[in-house]
Chain A
Amino acid sequence: MNDILQTILYVEDDESIAEITLLSLKEFGNFQVYHFYSGREALEALPLVKPQLVLLDVMMPFMDGIETLKFIRQMPEGENLPVIFMTARAQTHEQQRYLDLGAEAVIVKPFDPLSLSDQLNDMWDEIRAA
């Protein structure tokens, strides 16, 4: 596992939020971010992108984040791939559910775009150390 987080696969259906997130990661981080608007697109791209980490929204049409995570886990590339949920559906019991399903962490919306990159780097360090 690389020491530095470089490649992120980002799944978000809300255009405004996606735009802000991408801008934030570009301005304050040094990542290669691949953004997809749906879980299905992300799953198709996963073997090609080979991301180090997946940043995944929960509430999406057709295939939500939880279902997407389940499919990721069934793929050889995704079996041990760290997944972080970034969601507005984040009550305590919901966060616990995401962790139980195998997510590494949960970022609650609204997030701080100024510190998002640092947050992801810190989480990456923790994942590597674990």
Chain B
Amino acid sequence: MVYEFGSMLIEKARLGPASSASAKLNRHKGTSGRSITKRDLRVPAAIFFSTLAGFALAATLMALQPQGDVTHFNERWQLKLGQEVSAPSASLLANDTVQMISIGLFAALTLAFIAYLATWKSREASAQAETDDHLRHFMKSTPIAVAMFDINMRYIKASDRWFQDYDLTEADVIGKSHYEIFPEVPVKHPKWLEMHWQAINGSSIQSEEPIVISADGERGWLRYELHPWCDDDGKLGGVIMLTENITARKSAEKLKDEFISNVNHELRTPLTSIHGALSLLKAKASGNLDAQARRLLDISYENCIRLTELVNDFLDMEKIAAGEIRVDAKPEEMNKLVKDVVELNRPFATTNDVDLEFHSEIDEIYCDVDANRFNQALTNLISNAVKFTMRFDTVEIRLHQNQSDQLMISVIDNGPGIDEAFKEKIFEKFTQGDGSSTKANGGSGLGLNITRSIVSAFNGEVTIETELNSGSTFSIVLPVLDHEHEEERRVA
């Protein structure tokens, strides 16, 4: 079956894991930490033997030269210069020996240098061959379809997986234009042309998108990346293109989403009945019940709420784990936003006989946040504070800036505080103060973990200051937006 995506055709049967490629995977020794090999001894050996040969040559020359000849040599030399012939002396003899040794040394060094150059060249060539070998094996074994193009989109190099996915051979493409190989690209898929052009001009592009994967119109998913590459001088050399058929992964994700959606529905449906019935019973009929029955009704209702929160939190956790938590961040004036969240939480606080006090030390301040998600994060902190605060006490929500000019939204309670040893664990999943508090105060044990994940998505953090028996201060710390600058940029 043949797949068509964007511009290209690929064989379906070849889209699976590159088993053939991995089967042929060659293992290579790394260069770091290896032992000394024969190749490493070539250069010193060549120098040593060349030096030896030079001295041997000098010694031979000396041995072949008779003693008398030394004098004649000097005589001839001096006669040529028109000087008187003098008797040979011991110093002259010594001078000639030095000359012969010098010649020997010179010859030895010359030979050694030549040998060194030859060995160096050979070593360079062998290193190059090794690099080429590694590159060849890399291109052969890499499990991704990747190709390198010059600035005219001519193929320079491509991985075997690329050839497999697009039913090509190296001989088919190297040196040829991508548009010659896939002539439909300029005609049917101008978007790809545009992306190639952007990459050639220095932009990196990466995306995932649905594609047509068969002549029957079957749909699939393609992940692709386009990156510019530069030569050693930093000059743009062309494009590296990477493609991956992610249809199987997307199908698995879809199945998982459906499963979660079904579980969610199946849990919520009976919860709706239980929650609804208990709510109505509490509101309309609890007055007719004796104290013990009312208490049992309260327990049922509270645990129903807890179960509902757990289902909600599980869904959020799943989204966070999958990186699917949607954060539609935009500049928000934080005084108003925080005040709104406080008001939303006031009925819950009032039910628990706890007062909420909002204080701001800043007139107007903007942060890049998703209002709904921020509401969720701050609500988690406020509801925790309310749960751990004694009746008729107050939870303070304070807006201020720290020394780094970041915005701090602090939720301050006078509750039991958290043991120092437990402080670090408080953001972990299914963790609350201690076991007994968990049971007494309800909640899923996921709230703080979710809060931290949400605040992280705003490039912020959640901090905690606490002292046992004195209370806790949880703060959402957010980078402040230069709103005026942002406005100007937007208008421009």
- Report A's interface with B, CB cutoff 8 A: 14, 16-17, 20-21, 23-24, 27, 59, 87-89, 91-92, 94, 109-114
Contact = CB atoms under 8 A, between A and B. Distances in A.
B64 interface: no
A17 B272 contact: yes
Contacts of B277: 16, 20
Given A27-B280, A109-B269, A112-B279, 11 more contacts: A16-B273, A88-B265, A88-B272, A89-B261, A89-B264, A109-B271, A110-B268, A110-B271, A110-B275, A113-B279, A114-B279
Contacts of A94: 261
Contacts, number: 60
A111 to B, nearest CB: 7
B261 A110 contact: no
What are the 9 tightest A-B residue pairs by CB atom distance, in nearest-first order? A88-B268, A20-B276, A16-B273, A110-B272, A110-B275, A109-B272, A113-B276, A88-B265, A89-B265
A92 B261 CA distance: 11
Contacts of A112: 275, 279
Nearest to A116: B276
B284 interface: yes
28 contacts: A14-B269, A17-B269, A20-B280, A21-B276, A23-B280, A24-B276, A24-B280, A27-B280, A27-B284, A59-B265, A87-B265, A88-B264, A88-B265, A88-B267, A88-B268, A88-B269, A88-B271, A91-B260, A91-B264, A91-B315, A92-B326, A109-B271, A110-B308, A111-B272, A112-B279, A113-B276, A113-B279, A114-B283
Interface extent on B, as a size class?
Answer: 20 to 34
A62 B274 CA distance: 26
A14 B273 CA distance: 9
Nearest to B271: A110
A113 B274 CA distance: 11
Interface centre among B274, B275, B279, B308 (most CB of A within 10 A): B279
Nearest to A86: B272
A21 B277 CA distance: 10
Contacts of A20: 272-273, 276-277, 280
Contacts of A91: 260-261, 264, 315
A3 B236 CA distance: 67
Contacts of B265: 59, 87-89
Contacts of A113: 276, 279-280
Contacts of B269: 14, 17, 59, 88, 109
Contacts of B264: 88-89, 91
Contacts of A59: 265, 269
Nearest to A14: B269
Contacts of B283: 114
B329 to A, nearest CB: 15
Nearest to B283: A114
A119 to B, nearest CB: 13
Nearest to B307: A110
A14 B271 CA distance: 12
A88 B261 CA distance: 9
Contacts of B308: 110
Interface string B263-302: 0110111011111110110011000000000000000000
A39 B436 CA distance: 48
Interface in B222-274: 260-261, 264-265, 267-269, 271-274
A80 B274 CA distance: 34
Contacts of A27: 280, 284
A110 B260 CA distance: 17
A120 to B, nearest CB: 15
Interface centre among A14, A24, A89, A110 (most CB of B within 10 A): A110
A91 B262 CA distance: 11
A16 B283 CA distance: 18
A69 B268 CA distance: 22
Contacts of A92: 326
Nearest to A21: B276
A46 to B, nearest CB: 25
Nearest to B326: A92
A111 B276 contact: yes
A17 B326 CA distance: 30
Interface in B324-354: 326
Interface string B168-198: 0000000000000000000000000000000
Contacts of B260: 91
Contact of A110 (B276, B284, B315): B276
